């Protein structure tokens, strides 16, 4: 399988399956940290389902193409309350090489020593990853490129949209 195309319905169903898996593990957590951009929607929905505060950490290793670049992590986390909590769930859409999740979890533990337990959750876990997430919906042994429904906006601009309307 070279590419995996995901519809909005499949995307939302996958997030619900991820929530079910986390719930059934009976692991209690204080906060969700989503990795932006890919984990924004996942984190938002899980935050609503579990009624837990959401924090956002911008991290990126991809540009507008399929080439992986150097990982960039923001210098701060955005959150509305001052306490991180001792049990944190870090979410992203997928784990590819594993570099992003591995390095951000190290970064979080260094910056927030109050974190006693940290677990990770993704929708898709590719076999090529060196990092194994604690929770995932789909294991992908063939390492496909994943086309998510919102990616149509990656090659979209406001002027094109206005011309189409």
Where residue 159 falls among pLDDT bands split at 50, 70, 90? confident
What is the rounded CA–CA span in Å between residue 81 and residue 98?
A: 29
Q: What crossing angle do the helices spanning 8-25 and 40-50 adopt, rounded to 10°?
A: 50
Question: What confidence score (pLDDT) does residue 67 get?
Answer: 55
Domain encompassing residue 18: 3-164
- CATH code, 138: 3.40.50.2020
Where residue 34 falls among pLDDT bands split at 50, 70, 90? very high
DSSP per-residue letters across 80-124: SSS---SEEEEE-SEESSSHHHHHHHHHHHHH-TT--EEEEEEEE
% of the chain surpassing 90 pLDDT: 76
The answer to whether residues 104 and 59 touch, using CB atoms and an 8 Å cutoff, is yes
User: 138 - beta bridge partners?
Assistant: 124
Task: Tally the domains of the chain.
Answer: 1
Question: Rounded to two decimals, what is the model's pTM?
Answer: 0.89
Question: What confidence score (pLDDT) does residue 49 get?
Answer: 98
At 58-96, the pLDDT tens digits run 987 755 555 556 788 888 899 998 889 999 999 999 999
Average pLDDT over residues 32-37: 95
């Amino acid at each position: 399988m070279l590419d995996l195309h995901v519809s909005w319905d499949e995307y939302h169903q996958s997030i619900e399956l991820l929530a079910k898996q986390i719930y059934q593990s009976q692991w209690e957590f204080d906060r969700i940290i989503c990795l932006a951009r890919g984990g924004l929607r996942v984190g938002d929905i899980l935050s609503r389902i579990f009624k837990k505060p959401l924090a956002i950490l911008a991290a990126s290793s991809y540009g507008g193409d399929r080439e992986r670049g150097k990982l960039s992590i923001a210098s701060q986390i955005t959150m509305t309350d001052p306490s991180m909590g001792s049990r944190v769930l870090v979410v992203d859409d997928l784990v590819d090489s594993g570099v992003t999740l591995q390095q951000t979890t190290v970064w979080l533990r260094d910056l927030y020593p109050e974190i006693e337990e940290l677990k990770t959750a993704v929708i898709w876990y590719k076999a090529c990853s060196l990092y194994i997430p604690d929770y995932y919906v789909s294991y992908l042994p063939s390492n496909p490129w994943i086309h998510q429904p919102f990616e149509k906006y990656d090659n979209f601009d406001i002027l094109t949209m206005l011309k189409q309307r």
